A and B are shown apart, each in its own frame.
Chain A
Amino acid sequence: MTDTISNPGPARLRLDRRTVLKGVAASAGLAAAPGFVRYSQAQSAAPIRIGFQCHRTGIGAAYGRWYEKTTNAAVKLINDAGGINGRPVEIIVEDDGTDAKRGAEVVAKFASQHKTDIVYGTLFSHVVTGSAPTAGELKIPYYVVSEGYHVASGKMNRYCLQPGITDVRSQVTSVAPWIAANAGKKVTMIFPDYAFGYDHRDYLPPALKAQGAEVIAQIAIPPTESSFTRYFPQIPAETEVIYHVMVGPAVLTFVKELGEFYGSNRPQLFGFIDSLEAVDINSPGLEFLDGSHFWEGSPRYAQPNDSDAQKVYRAAVGIDDNGAAVGDPKDVSTAAHMFGCWETLYVIKKAMEDSGYKGPEDRAKLIEATEALTEFKEGNEHPQGDKVFNGKNHQCYGHQNISKLEGGKLNVVHRTSIEDGHYEVEADYTTQPL
C-alpha cells in the first residue's frame, strides 16, 4: 500500500502491461472463439428481429403502452412455442412520439441502424402515412395495426400491410345499418380533424344513406384540443343520434363536457370506443352515458360467451374481466384495438414460415407470402374472431362488436358479419414491383 503511494510509477506500468496482455488475449480469443464460429456457421439460430414503432410518448401514449404489453405477451407465447422457423423473436422498441416525422426517422433507424427484419406496430394514421414512404424506399416490410383506411385505399405502397385489424371504412360500413335501424335516422358526426377522422367523415355518410338515414352535420375537432363545449352548439337540435369518435389525451374531457351539455336529456349516442379508450367508463361525470352504444373491435369487458381463445388472450396480456390491468383496476386497457398487435404478430409468423424466411434478403418473399394469405381462423392466434385477408389491398376484414353501456359495463348486443363490412376494393398493390 505504502509502496504504491510512494512509488506510483511501477504500479501504473504494471497495470499498462496487464491491459495490453488482456487486449492481446481478447483479440486472439475473438478470432478463435468457438462461440463466434458457431454463430457465423448457423445464422438461423440468431433471433428474428422485429422493430416495434411504438407510441410511447405523445398523444397516442395510452395506446402505445398497451400495444407494448400485448406485443410482449404474444412474443412470449411465440417464443415459448419455439419461435418462428426455429428462431426466437426479438422485439426492438423505438418511440415515435406519435409524430409523423419522427415515425419516418424511426423506420429508417430500424432499417439501417438496428437492421431489423421488419417494422411493425404503428397505430395513429398520420404516423403510418408519414412512415410508409420510408418503408417503401428502404424496402422493409411495414406491418401496421392502425385501422385507418390508408393502407386499404392503395395510397401506401407494397411494403405496407395491415393484416391484424379491420380498416375504418369497413368498420363504419358494417355498423351503419345497425345505427340506422336502432339509434336514429338523423346523425350528427363528431370526429378528430385528421386522417383517421376523415375516414369516418367520408365513409359513414354513404353507408348511412344506403340505409335511409342521413348525416345532418359534421363537426371536426383537432385531436390536440383540450376544451370541447364550444363545439357543441353546432349540433343541430333535430339530431337523433350523435356519432362520436375522438382520440388524444383529452378524450375524457370530451365525453364529460358532452354530459354537462346534455345531461340525461340527450340524443341517442353512438360512439367509437376510441372516445373512451384507456378511460374508466365509470369515471365521475360519465353517468349520462348509461344506455348509449359503442363500437368495439374486441370487447373491453369479458362477455359470457367468450371463446377459450379470448380467455387465453386476456390472461396472457394481463387484463381482468373489466378490461383493466390485473391488480390495478384504474389502469384501463385499449382492448378494442390492441388485439390487432397479437393477431398481426401471428400473421407475420405464418407468412415467415410460409416463405421460409431467413433474413433481410427474403423480405420480398415475405411480402408475397403475406399477400398469398386469404383467411385467418378464429383461435388462439386470432382471438378476436375469424377474418378474411385481401392480398391485393393488404387489408384484413373481420367482425365488429356493438356494445351497450348498462350497469357500468359494456355488453355486446350485436356482432356484425364480415360481409356487413364489405365494400368494393379498388387498390392493388401487387402490381407494384418489389
Chain B
Amino acid sequence: MAFGPHLLLATLEGLVTSAVLALMALGLSLVFGVMRVVNVAHGEFFMLGAVLAWWIASLVSGHPAIGFLAALAISPLIVGAVAFAADRLVLRRLNYEPEATIVATIGLLYIIQQLALTFYGPQARPVDAPFTYRILFPWFGYSGYKLSIIATSALLLIFTWFVLTRTRIGLVMRATQYDRETAQAFGIPVGRVYAGVFALGAMLAAIAAVLIVPITQAHYLMGLNPLLLSFIVVIIGGLGSLRGTVVAALLIGVSDGVISAFFSPTLAKIIATLAVAMVLVFRPQGLFGSAAK
C-alpha cells in the first residue's frame, strides 16, 4: 500500500483508539484528581460496561440499533451504581487513604473480573453495531461505525468539559479537588461528591466500553490493556487535568496507530512506556498537570 493511504488508515485507527482512550482515561483522571484515589479497578468497570452491553442488547429484539442504544443508556447507569456502592461500602471506610485504596481497588478488580467470569462466562460475545455502513476509500474500505465512535467521543468530551467548567456540579467538584477541607467548611457535602465522582469515572469507562464493544466483543479479560493505556495517558497528560488527558490520549492513540501500522504494535507499546518514564523523570506532574501543592 502506498505511503499516503497507509498513513490515512493508521491515523484513522489511531483516532479510534484515542477516542475510546480519552473517555476512559478521563474517568481515571477525574477520580484521581478529585479523590486522590488510584483506581486500579477502572479497567474492570470498562469490562463490566461491555459485558452489560452484551446482556442488554441480547434482551432487546428488533433492529440492532435499538439494542445498542438501550445498552448505551442503561449499561453506564448500572456500572455507575456499582461504583457508587463500592465507594460507599469500601473506599469511604478506608478514609480514602492512598495505599489502602490501591489495595482495595486491586481487590475490586479481582472481584468484578471473577464475577463476570462466573456469571457471563469465558467466551467473547459480540454486540451488533447499530449500523454497518462501510466507507469506501479508493485504496481500502473502512467501517463507518468506527468513524462514528470518534464523533460520539468528541461530543461526550465536550459535554464533560461543559459540566466540569460551566455548571454548579462542576464547580463543587473543582472546589473539592482544590481543597477538600475548605470545601467542606463551605458546606459542600464532600462525601457525596466523592461517591458521585467515583460513579462518574466508572460511567465514562462504561460508555467507552459500549462504544467499542461492537468492534471488539465483550470478554472478561478485556479490561487490562485499556487500563494500562489509561494510566500511560493520565501520567503523561498530568493527573487530574482534563485538557492534559485529552491531549495525551490523542498523542498516545494516534502514535499507537501510526507506529503499529508502520512498524509493530509492540514497538508502539515500548515507545509509550518510554514516554511515561521520560515524563516521570523530566516533568513528574505531567505535560499539563500543576506541580503538587
Does chain A have a CB within 8 A of B222?
yes
Q: Which residues of A contact B216 (CB under 8 A)?
A: 226-227, 250, 253
Contact of A57 with B126 in the complex, beta carbons under 8 Å: no
Q: Which residues of B contact A226 (CB under 8 A)?
A: 216, 222, 225
B 123-153 binary contact with A (CB < 8 Å = 1; else 0): 1101011001010100011110000000000
B95-147 CB contacts (< 8 Å) to partner A: 117, 121-124, 126, 128-129, 132, 134, 136, 140-143
Does chain A have a CB within 8 A of B217?
yes
Number of B interface residues in the complex (CB < 8 A): 35
Does chain B have a CB within 8 A of A212?
no
B212, closest chain A residue (CB): A226
Contact of A230 with B141 in the complex, beta carbons under 8 Å: no
Contact of A232 with B117 in the complex, beta carbons under 8 Å: no
Contact of A260 with B136 in the complex, beta carbons under 8 Å: no
Q: In the bound complex, what is the Cα–Cα distance between A236 and B243 (angstroms)? A: 40
Say whether, besides A227-B13, A253-B216, A57 and B265 are in contact (CB < 8 Å).
no
B1-58 CB contacts (< 8 Å) to partner A: 1, 5-6, 9-10, 13, 17
**Is chain B's binding surface mostly helix, strand, loop or mixed?**
mixed
CB distance from B266 to the nearest CB of A (A): 8
Does chain A have a CB within 8 A of B260?
yes
Does chain B have a CB within 8 A of A36?
no
Q: In the bound complex, what is the Cα–Cα distance between A285 and B1 (angstroms)? A: 24
CB distance from B254 to the nearest CB of A (A): 12
Q: Which residues of A contact B128 (CB under 8 A)?
A: 284
Does chain B have a CB within 8 A of A262?
yes
Does chain B have a CB within 8 A of A61?
yes
Contact of B215 with A253 in the complex, beta carbons under 8 Å: yes
A235, closest chain B residue (CB): B1
CB distance from A430 to the nearest CB of B (A): 38
Does chain A have a CB within 8 A of B69?
no
Q: In the bound complex, what is the Cα–Cα distance between A62 and B143 (angstroms)? A: 27
Does chain A have a CB within 8 A of B257?
yes
Say whether, besides A230-B13, A284-B132, A249 and B6 are in contact (CB < 8 Å).
no
Does chain B have a CB within 8 A of A252?
yes
Contact of B261 with A261 in the complex, beta carbons under 8 Å: no
Does chain A have a CB within 8 A of B64?
yes
Does chain B have a CB within 8 A of A374?
no
Does chain B have a CB within 8 A of A233?
yes
Q: In the bound complex, what is the Cα–Cα distance between A225 and B13 (angstroms)? A: 14
B7, closest chain A residue (CB): A233
The answer, among A61, A250, A260, A285, for a CB contact under 8 Å with B142, is A260
Q: In the bound complex, what is the Cα–Cα distance between A225 and B140 (angstroms)? A: 21
CB distance from A36 to the nearest CB of B (A): 38
Q: In the bound complex, what is the Cα–Cα distance between A227 and B124 (angstroms)? A: 14
A264, closest chain B residue (CB): B141
CB distance from B3 to the nearest CB of A (A): 10
Does chain B have a CB within 8 A of A263?
yes
Does chain B have a CB within 8 A of A86?
no
Q: Which residues of B contact A59 (CB under 8 A)?
A: 221
Contact of B132 with A285 in the complex, beta carbons under 8 Å: yes
Contact of B64 with A284 in the complex, beta carbons under 8 Å: yes
Number of A interface residues in the complex (CB < 8 A): 32
Say whether, besides A226-B216, A260-B141, A260-B142, A249 and B124 are in contact (CB < 8 Å).
yes
Q: In the bound complex, what is the Cα–Cα distance between A125 and B9 (angstroms)? A: 33
The answer, among B64, B124, B141, B222, for a CB contact under 8 Å with A261, is B141
Q: In the bound complex, what is the Cα–Cα distance between A250 and B260 (angstroms)? A: 18
Contact of B140 with A261 in the complex, beta carbons under 8 Å: yes
Contact of A58 with B257 in the complex, beta carbons under 8 Å: no
Q: Which residues of A contact B122 (CB under 8 A)?
A: 56-58, 61-62, 64-65
The answer, among A62, A230, A252, A257, for a CB contact under 8 Å with B260, is A230
A260-287 CB contacts (< 8 Å) to partner B: 260-263, 278, 283-285
Q: In the bound complex, what is the Cα–Cα distance between A262 and B140 (angstroms)? A: 6
Q: Which residues of B contact A230 (CB under 8 A)?
A: 9-10, 13, 257, 260-261, 265
CB distance from A88 to the nearest CB of B (A): 29
Q: Which residues of B contact A256 (CB under 8 A)?
A: 215
A57-95 CB contacts (< 8 Å) to partner B: 57-59, 61-62, 64-65
A98, closest chain B residue (CB): B122
Contact of B117 with A57 in the complex, beta carbons under 8 Å: yes
Say whether, besides A226-B222, A230-B13, A230-B261, A253 and B1 are in contact (CB < 8 Å).
no
User: B-side interface residues toward A, CB under 8 Å?
Assistant: 1, 5-6, 9-10, 13, 17, 64, 117, 121-124, 126, 128-129, 132, 134, 136, 140-143, 215-217, 219, 221-222, 225, 257, 260-261, 265-266
Listed A/B pairs (24) with beta-carbon separation below 8 Å: A59-B221, A62-B123, A225-B265, A227-B215, A229-B9, A230-B10, A230-B260, A230-B265, A232-B9, A232-B140, A233-B1, A249-B123, A250-B217, A253-B217, A256-B215, A260-B142, A260-B143, A261-B141, A262-B140, A263-B136, A283-B126, A284-B64, A284-B128, A284-B129
User: A-side interface residues toward B, CB under 8 Å?
Assistant: 56-59, 61-62, 64-65, 222, 225-227, 229-233, 237, 249-250, 252-253, 256-257, 260-263, 278, 283-285
List the 7 shortest-distance A-B pairs measured between CB atoms, nearest first.
A61-B122, A249-B124, A233-B1, A230-B261, A230-B260, A57-B122, A260-B143
